[in-house]
């Protein structure tokens, strides 16, 4: 598969997201919508997967996000960035889904346990099933669990900045809050995560060093 310099050059002048969305809005252009989905499907899937701690649910939510974008295409205001609009809708769907899950967890656990803050976390663990395949390794699962213990608004900021590499200014635009608030949420998220992860990773490091001493196999891996 070869990509000629001309093809690369012409792709530089490809339709912007805003132009594509404008076509979807005014002409119901299916090709333009397909282009948007191609461009944004994976980032939105990643966002949803990290917000919910479940890759498959993330994929479903990403699909729902695009369905909603299309269904409400007339509501899109062309003034702002399309990507901010898209992230916002996906995040709102994530919040709805988390709320729904929390309700379900509360109902199913209310006779057995207290209503604790880590309800989602437990639920996510019990419901994961095939998600075990998606999370590579024990450490990944530990990080995922710690992230799920964060308040949702902190998690959203952390996922957008750390994993999706949005600038603080862009996140402020998505969440419609001041940039300073985004940064303070980020600081709080990292601090809470440090508290959650430090003992785990310290233990992990200790056991690794114990395991690594007898032979060289560990180093080779």
Integer Cα distance of 64 and 16 in angstroms = 22
Closer to other proteins by CB, 59 or 109: give it.
59
The C-alpha atoms of residue 170 and residue 173 are separated, in whole angstroms, by 5
The three-state DSSP-derived secondary structure of 22-63 is: HHHHHHCCHHHHHHHHHHHHHHHHHHHHHHHCCHHHHHHHHH
Min. distance of Cβ 220 from other proteins in angstroms?
Answer: 19
* Angle subtended by helix axes 30-52 and 17-27, to nearest 10: 120
CA dist., res. 80 & res. 221, Å (int): 48
Whichever of 127 and 192 has its CB closer to other proteins, that residue is: 192
Query: Of 97 and 145, which CB lies nearer to other proteins in the complex structure?
Result: 145
CB closer to other proteins out of 123 and 144: 144
Minimum CB separation of residue 108 from other proteins in Å reads 27
- Give the nearest distance from C-beta 31 to other proteins in angstroms: 20
Separation of alpha carbons 74 and 56, rounded Å: 29
Interface residues with other proteins (CB under 8 A) are: 1-3, 8, 11-12, 42, 45-46, 49-50, 55, 59, 134-137, 139-140, 142-144, 147, 158, 161-163, 167-168, 180, 183-184, 186-187, 190-191, 193-194, 197-198, 201
For residue 3, count other CB atoms closer than 10 A to its CB.
8
136 vs 220 by CB, closer to other proteins? 136
Q: How far is the CB of 156 from other proteins (least distance, A)?
A: 15
CA–CA gap between residue 198 and residue 216 (Å, rounded): 27
**Closer to other proteins by Cβ: residue 88 or 200:** 200
Token pair 């600038």 in the structure block, residue: 167
Nearer to other proteins, 25 or 83 (CB): 83
For residue 107, the minimal CB distance to other proteins (Å) is 29
Residue with structure tokens 């996922």? 159
The total of other beta-carbon atoms located within 10 Å of residue 164's CB is: 16
**Beta carbon of residue 88, minimum distance to other proteins (angstroms, whole number):** 19
Contact call for residues 24 and 70 (beta carbons, < 8 A): yes
Question: In the bound complex, what is the minimum distance in angstroms from residue 199's beta carbon to other proteins?
Answer: 12
């Amino acid at each position: 598969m070869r990509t000629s310099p001309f093809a690369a050059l012409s792709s530089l002048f490809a339709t912007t997201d805003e132009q594509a969305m404008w076509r979807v809005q005014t002409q119901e252009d299916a090709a333009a919508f397909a282009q948007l989905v191609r461009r944004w499907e994976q980032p939105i899937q990643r966002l949803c997967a990290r917000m919910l701690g479940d890759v498959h649910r993330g994929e479903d939510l990403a699909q729902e996000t695009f369905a909603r974008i299309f269904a409400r295409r007339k509501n899109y205001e062309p003034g702002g960035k399309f990507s901010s609009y898209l992230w916002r809708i996906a995040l709102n769907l994530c919040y709805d889904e988390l709320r729904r899950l929390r309700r379900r967890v509360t109902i199913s656990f209310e006779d057995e346990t207290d209503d604790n803050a880590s309800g989602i976390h437990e639920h996510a663990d019990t419901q994961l099933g095939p998600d075990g395949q998606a999370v590579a390794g024990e450490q990944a699962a530990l990080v995922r669990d710690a992230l799920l213990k964060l308040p949702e608004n902190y998690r959203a900021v952390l996922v957008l900045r750390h994993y999706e590499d949005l600038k603080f200014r862009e996140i402020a635009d998505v969440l419609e809050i001041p940039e300073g608030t985004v940064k303070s949420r980020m600081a709080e998220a990292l601090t809470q995560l440090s508290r959650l992860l430090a003992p785990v990773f310290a233990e992990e490091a200790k056991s690794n060093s114990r395991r690594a001493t007898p032979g060289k196999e560990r180093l080779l891996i």
